[in-house]
């Protein structure tokens, strides 16, 4: 185990930035007092509320008992992150991803995906998930825009035995958005969703950034213990 000093890639880099962020989190904690969340999953929910200023997500967010643990383990293992749209990939911090060796994969605009969607009268989102089959198995999938992408992931889990390390399913919208997230809740894989019509790429980004911060905190705790015992 490395005994190098703890790193800081997930926190604000200036004192002023940290003060603003910590003040925002303190307001969320105060206004959501009495919530049912345990400490680790609350870090995910709190960051979603922070990103949206919408306290509905305190109750709308749902996750499996192993979601946070599985997400942290996948990140620390450098798992690929499959996104339904470029907006999620752009929103994720490159230094944070690079620290853990994670890479994002977005196939929705690939020419072969577009061609196949037209040929099968399907959606690009569906074909993009099919193309990402090998990245999905053991990887993290983040869907913030396309319910059809999330439904396809559900089908692949059930029919093909594809097992993502974590499914972050938070598509926004009116057609199949709520239904796709309810389907995720029945999957035998770790998952985080926000029930109902609300969602979006910013929700997926917030959840993943929370997991990145938790992964770094775990890593730094281990590093400090190793230094102290050396």
Out of 3.40.50.10230, 3.40.50.920, 3.40.1410.10, 3.90.1300.10, which CATH number does the structure's domain 15-229 have? Answer: 3.40.50.10230
Query: With contact defined as beta carbons under 8 Å apart, do 189 and 164 qualify?
Result: yes
Give per-residue pLDDT as tens, 191-203. 999 999 999 999 9
Q: What pLDDT does residue 16 have?
A: 74
Q: Measure CA 23 to chain center.
A: 24
pLDDT tens digits, 122-150: 999 999 999 999 999 999 999 999 999 99
Q: Is 50 a catalytic residue?
A: yes
Taking residues 6-11, what's their average pLDDT? 58
Set 36, 50, 99, 209: catalytic member:
50
pLDDT in tens, 27-68: 999 999 989 999 999 999 999 999 999 999 999 999 999 999
Contact 7, 220 (CB under 8 A): yes
Long-range contacts from 6-14, C-beta under 8 angstroms, 24+ separation = 6/219, 6/220, 6/223, 6/224, 7/99, 7/216, 7/219, 7/220, 8/216, 9/93, 9/95, 9/96, 9/99, 9/216, 10/93, 10/96, 10/209, 10/212, 10/213, 10/216, 11/213
91 pLDDT band, cuts 50/70/90, is: very high
Total-model pTM: 0.91
Report pLDDT for 203.
97
Return the closest-CA partner of residue 191 out of 212, 172, 168, 211: 168
Confidence (pLDDT) at 224? 86
pLDDT digits (tens, 9 = 90+) for 158-169: 999 999 999 999
């Amino acid at each position: 185990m490395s005994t190098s000093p703890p790193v800081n890639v997930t926190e604000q880099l200036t004192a002023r930035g940290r003060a603003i962020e910590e003040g925002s989190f303190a307001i969320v904690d105060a206004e959501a007092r009495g919530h049912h969340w345990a400490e680790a999953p609350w870090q995910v929910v709190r960051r979603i509320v922070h990103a949206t200023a919408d306290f509905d997500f305190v109750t709308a967010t749902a996750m499996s008992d192993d979601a946070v643990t599985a997400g942290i383990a996948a990140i620390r293992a450098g798992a690929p992150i499959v996104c339904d749209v470029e907006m999620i990939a752009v929103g994720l911090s490159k230094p944070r991803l690079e620290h853990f060796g994670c890479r994002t994969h977005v196939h929705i605009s690939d020419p072969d995906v577009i061609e196949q969607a037209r040929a099968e009268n399907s959606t690009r989102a569906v074909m993009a998930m099919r193309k990402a089959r090998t990245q999905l198995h053991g990887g993290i999938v983040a869907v913030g825009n396309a319910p059809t992408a999330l439904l396809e992931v559900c089908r692949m889990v059930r029919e093909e035995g594809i097992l993502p390390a974590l499914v972050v399913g938070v598509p926004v919208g009116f057609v199949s958005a709520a239904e796709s997230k309810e389907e995720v809740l029945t999957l035998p894989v770790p998952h985080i969703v926000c029930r109902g019509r609300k969602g979006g790429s910013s929700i997926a980004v917030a959840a993943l950034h929370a997991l990145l911060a938790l992964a770094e905190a775990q890593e730094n705790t281990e590093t400090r213990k190793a230094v102290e015992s050396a």
